[in-house]
Amino acid sequence: MLVQRPLYVTTARPTPVDRAFTQLTREIFSPAKRNPAVDAGWRDGALVLTVDTPGLPAEALDVEITDRVLSVRVAEEGGERWSRTVQLGSSLDPGRAEARYVDGRLTVTIPELPAPAARRIAIDTTPVAAPPVGVVDAGSTEAIDAAATGDPSDGATEATAPSAA
């Protein structure tokens, strides 16, 4: 009769090499987590996101756009299984987004906003009127200095004419 005995028996703590080997063997021999394959790219002036989810019913998928964030979720009986979020750029029009699920492939298409039409802007050549002499603009440096020092004679008030006395 053949008896198997452990080759290496120790009561010491596992070394970093032992922990790394254990982790590696768990990752190799454990059941694989199946995340859907995702592809994103530009096609015909639109962002196209494809997610391959073979074997899932369409009811298990959820696509939502909130505050310029696209969320794609795969939810099954036991709860959420997988999700991805994509921040949408300002050049995309989330109001015209479309989603289609055919033969295990979800395709989300978000078109670009139409480019604004070019327009000519008229240039105004009228000179800006200067404030009356002796009046200090509230945003000027003299008014700010007067407010900081508390001295109203620094130009924060209108100038008065000299008295004839």
Q: What is the pLDDT of residues 122-160, one digit of tens each?
A: 999 999 887 777 666 655 666 566 666 665 554 444 545
Residue 43 pLDDT > 80: yes
pTM here is 0.53
**Are 105 and 50 contacting, i.e. CB atoms less than 8 angstroms apart?**
yes
Task: Give a yes or no: residue 83 inside a domain.
Answer: yes
> Please, which contacts does 68-71 make with residues 24 or more away whose CB atoms are closer than 8 Å?
68/92, 68/94, 70/94, 70/97, 70/108, 70/110
DSSP letter at 127 equals P
The answer, yes or no, to whether residue 16 has pLDDT greater than 90, is no
| Residue 153 belongs to a domain | no
Sheet of strand 46-52, all strands in order from the earlier edge strand to the far edge: 37-43, 46-52, 105-111, 98-102
Rounded-to-5 percentages of helix, strand, coil across the chain: 20, 30, 50
Domain that holds residue 74: 37-111
| Residue 84 placed within a domain | yes
Q: Do the beta carbons of residue 61 and residue 74 sit within 8 Å?
A: yes
Q: Is the confidence at residue 35, as pLDDT, over 80?
A: no
Per-residue model confidence as pLDDT tens digits over 58-81: 888 999 999 999 999 988 776 668
Q: How many domains does the chain have?
A: 1
Residue 155 lies in a domain: no
Q: How many CA atoms lie within 13 A of 66 on its CB side?
A: 6
* Comparison of pLDDT for 9 and 149, the residue scoring more: 149
Mean pLDDT of the chain: 78
CATH number of the domain that residue 95 is part of: 2.60.40.790
pLDDT in tens, 24-34: 777 677 665 66
Mean pLDDT of 40-60: 90
Q: Which pLDDT belongs to residue 22?
A: 80
